[in-house]
A and B are shown apart, each in its own frame.
Chain A
C-alpha cells in the first residue's frame, strides 16, 4: 500500500473527530486553525480567542471587517450569535481557570511525559509567548498538531525537550502526519498509524519507546 504522510488538512480533519458538540475550543495558528473547517456545520462549538472573544466566527469579509474585532493573529473576524467579549484578564481567567475544554496547538517538540515546546526555536534571542504558556497549562485537554519529524528528518517527539519549554506535562494527545499518540502515565501509547506505515516505522521516527495500543488501527482519512 501507498506510504503517504498525512497532509496538514488530513491532520486537521482527524483532530476534528475528537471534538464534541458544545466544546469550548482554543485554536493555535498553523494546522490548528484548519480544524474548524472539518467540524459539522450543524453542531455548535464555541471558539475562544485569547484577546477576549468567546464565540468567534469565521474570518470577516472586507465589508463587515471591524479593526476592533480580530483573532489572535490580528485578522478581522466575525462573532457568532451568542458570542461575547471580555477583557484580557477575564479571557485568561477562562483559560487559566480550566474553563476551556480543548486547546489545539502547534508543536516544535513534545516529550515523553507531555512537556511541550512551541514558542521559540533554539538559539534565537527573541521569541514571543503570547498566550501559549497559559493555554498549554490551562486547557482541560491539549492536542498537539505537528509533523512527526523535523526538516532534517529527526524526531520531534523526544525523551527530553531541548527547545525552550512552553509548559510541562500538558499534552494529552499528539496528532502527526504519521500517527496518533496518547500521552499516559505509563508513557506514549501509539493508537493510530497513517495508511501504509508500520508501527516499527513510526517507532523509528520517534525517540522515546512507544507502547502499542491493543486497539492499534489505521488513521481513517476519508
Chain B
C-alpha cells in the first residue's frame, strides 16, 4: 500500500540537513505551510538556502528562521514588505544573502527545475540590474536573458486536501507557488488541512498529481 502520510510535522521534516536548499510555498500568508516551517525551526537545521516569494512578516513563517540565523541565503522577489523588518535587519548585518528575482522568472525557474528544463531565455529583466552577468540573446528580434532552473532538496508546501498517494487540491490563491515547488523539490512535503480516501478527489480537479509529492502531513 502506498502511504505518504506522516503522523507529525516533526517526523515529516526530521531528515532536513544543514546546508539544504528548501523551496517554501506561499504568497505572504496565503498558502504558507506554517506548521512544517515551525517544526523545522524546532529541529534546528541551519545554513539553509531558502526560496520564497517573500521573507515573512514580523517573526512569522520563514521570518522566524531568518530571525534565528537559520537561513544563509534567500531567493526572493519581494523582500521589502513593511513588516519584513527581520529580513531587512539580518540583510543589513550581512547575516543573510539575497538573490532578487522577478516574480514571474522565479515561478518559471522553479517550474523549469521540476520539468527537466535546465535553463531558458526570457525578456523579463533585460536592461535591468537583474541582467548583470547573464547571457543575452535575441530571439525573433526580442532581447532575452538566460535564466537557470531552481531545484530544491526539499519543498515545503501547503494544500487544502490530500490523499495518501499525495494527490493535492488547493484553496483559492493559496495555490500560488505551491504546485511548481512540489514539482521542483526532490522531497516535497505537503502540509494539508484534510486527508481524504484515495479516489475521493475528483481526478479532473487534482492540481498536483501525487507523483510530485513524497510526504503529506495534516495540519493540527
Chain A interfacial positions (CB closer than 8 Å to B): 49-53, 66-70, 74, 79, 85-89, 91-93, 95-96, 115, 125-134, 137-138, 164-168
Q: Is B78 part of the contact surface with A, judged by Cβ < 8 Å?
A: yes
Q: Knowing A133-B128, A138-B124 are in contact, say whether A89-B78 is a contact too (CB < 8 A).
A: no
Task: Please determine whether A88 and B103 come into contact, CB atoms closer than 8 angstroms.
Answer: yes
In the assembled complex, 25 residue pairs joining A and B whose CB atoms fall closer than 8 Å, in A order, are A49-B173, A51-B27, A66-B172, A68-B173, A69-B172, A69-B174, A70-B173, A85-B172, A87-B179, A88-B103, A88-B106, A88-B180, A89-B111, A92-B107, A96-B124, A125-B91, A126-B91, A129-B101, A130-B77, A132-B102, A133-B128, A134-B102, A134-B105, A167-B124, A167-B128
Task: Please determine whether A126 and B88 come into contact, CB atoms closer than 8 angstroms.
Answer: yes
Task: Please determine whether B92 and A79 come into contact, CB atoms closer than 8 angstroms.
Answer: no
Residues from chain A with a CB closer than 8 A to the CB of B77 are 128-131
Chain B interfacial positions (CB closer than 8 Å to A): 27-31, 53, 77-81, 88, 91-92, 98, 100-108, 110-111, 122-130, 170-180, 207
Per CB-CB distance, the 9 closest pairs between chain A and chain B, nearest first, are A92-B104, A68-B174, A134-B104, A88-B107, A74-B28, A128-B80, A128-B78, A133-B102, A168-B127
Q: Which residue of B lies closest to A86 (CB)?
A: B175
Indicate the member of B103, B108, B126, B178 with the most A CB atoms within 10 Å: B103
Q: Which residue of B lies closest to A135 (CB)?
A: B104
Residues from chain B with a CB closer than 8 A to the CB of A79 are 172
Task: Please determine whether B30 and A69 come into contact, CB atoms closer than 8 angstroms.
Answer: yes
Residues from chain A with a CB closer than 8 A to the CB of B171 are 66, 68
Q: Which residue of B lies closest to A131 (CB)?
A: B103
Complex CA–CA separation, A96 to B123 (angstroms) = 8
> Would you give the shortest CB distance from B134 to chain A, in whole angstroms?
13
With beta carbons under 8 angstroms apart, the residue of A74, A93, A132, A138 that contacts B27 is A74
Complex CA–CA separation, A139 to B53 (angstroms) = 21
Q: Knowing A89-B107, A92-B103 are in contact, say whether A137-B123 is a contact too (CB < 8 A).
A: yes
Task: Please determine whether B127 and A125 come into contact, CB atoms closer than 8 angstroms.
Answer: no
Complex CA–CA separation, A51 to B175 (angstroms) = 8
Residues from chain B with a CB closer than 8 A to the CB of A91 are 107, 176
Task: Please determine whether A68 and B78 come into contact, CB atoms closer than 8 angstroms.
Answer: no
Task: Please determine whether A125 and B126 come into contact, CB atoms closer than 8 angstroms.
Answer: no
